Structure 1
């Protein structure tokens, strides 16, 4: 985004704020006119014209889709690594128990179906412990230090190696991550991967079979059960949703 784009965006935001302020004052006066009390002013000036909510984008689609896969397959044990608690994990916890591994801390107040363990998954040595594992929009952060982890250029590969090792034979691994036309590192926020890069990681290439590929495109729309080779070359920042089954 260039300077002109930034300027246009700032002008649009300022216009929205001024219009919101005008409406806020009018409605405040109407409230008082009707005899209403106001304990304190807490202006919200930018939501008058908002839609009811967001039904697009990476997290909305991936969280619902993968939660539905787990519901359909009903695994004996499901482990999640680093996915969004108030999205995907909450969806799954509404109908079954889910174990969550994360390098970050979590307050004790949690749902009875969420079993949380703080750990660095790249250092997990246990093998074949679960028939179902997910890691949604998390692997791109491994090794960048953003969440308190150690700097490691190949941290994402080590994380994937651990996930593959933890998975039982015939079990399913659900991975999602930002995808684009080439591999990029946006330090220290995240990585973006070419859609085929993950397939070439040795532990995946040797042990897993891609059984399904879905993706969210640049417009935030979900493309279901797609041929991974059909993605447009100019994809900028989509979300690849990979379903793998362990064959070895």
Structure 2
């Protein structure tokens, strides 16, 4: 009987996982109660707004219902929000004459380019206009178009965990993340800084979204670097500065924020 229960529970977990991660992204499961409340409020607001003095009249063909935004709190992605704050603070401290970003969030890159000259390299490049501080390059993190020991300041935020999984159209590589670390290590100038954010915790592959690495793995791979500072965004979405990375080896999906400096004796 206990074996039957275990099998049923495993089947139920598998079904829930399938619905949540395979079905919902392409066919959202509709909460009809929420939809009903949203449209009810929308129609009530429409009627009340129509009674106001009208600089603009409401026309049906111009209507654009947004029925899920009336919430008590604004939602945000804690990893991307806090990592941008963390990176800005650290880059400002070192004040580089030129900064290279590899594949990070473009809003962060754009803002940074108003303070420091930035080269933004991505497998899927962006086109911008009137951004004199920003130079966009198309490139591959596994074959960076820079000489050995040539770049003094690099960010790569929430990127390396994806490399080689094919999610963004890149070739499949089972050691993509490790190769990316080695390639970045190659181009960082001795004494230069590498600012990294990456999911950390219990090491595993969640194909094809990302890999989650133990913080110790990251540090061991970057053996030409010294860890200057470690901060973290925890499983409970708290931003904690100056933490001990050993405390987060068994996290589920934390975000490790690493400041590395390349050994000045490296040639």
Map 1:61-210 to 2 at 5 A: 61-86=82-107, 88-109=108-129, 111-124=131-144, 126-181=147-202, 183-201=203-221, 204-205=222-223, 207-210=224-227
- CA gap of 1:216–1:60, structure 2 versus 1, over 3 A, is same
Among 255, 259, 267, which residue is 1:239 paired with?
255
Shift of the alpha carbon at 1:51? 2.2
**Aligned partner of residue 258 in structure 2, secondary structure:** strand
Q: Distance in 2 between matches of 1:163 and 1:58?
A: 22
CA deviations 1:111-137 (Å, max 9, x no partner) are 221111101121126211111111000
Q: How big is the shift at 1:99?
A: 0.8
Tell whether the 8 Å contact from 1:67 to 1:91 is kept in structure 2 after alignment.
no
Q: Where do 5+ consecutive residues of structure 2 fail to align?
A: 1-11
Q: How many residues align?
A: 240
Contact 1:173 1:244 in 2 (8 A): yes
Task: With the length of structure 1 as denominator, give the TM-score of the two structures.
Answer: 0.88
2:41 aligned partner: 23
TM-score by length of structure 2 reads: 0.82
Structure whose alpha-carbon radius of gyration is higher: 2
Unpaired segments ≥5 residues, structure 1: none
Aligned residue for 2:7? none
Q: Which has the higher contact order (CA 8 A, sep 6+)?
A: 1
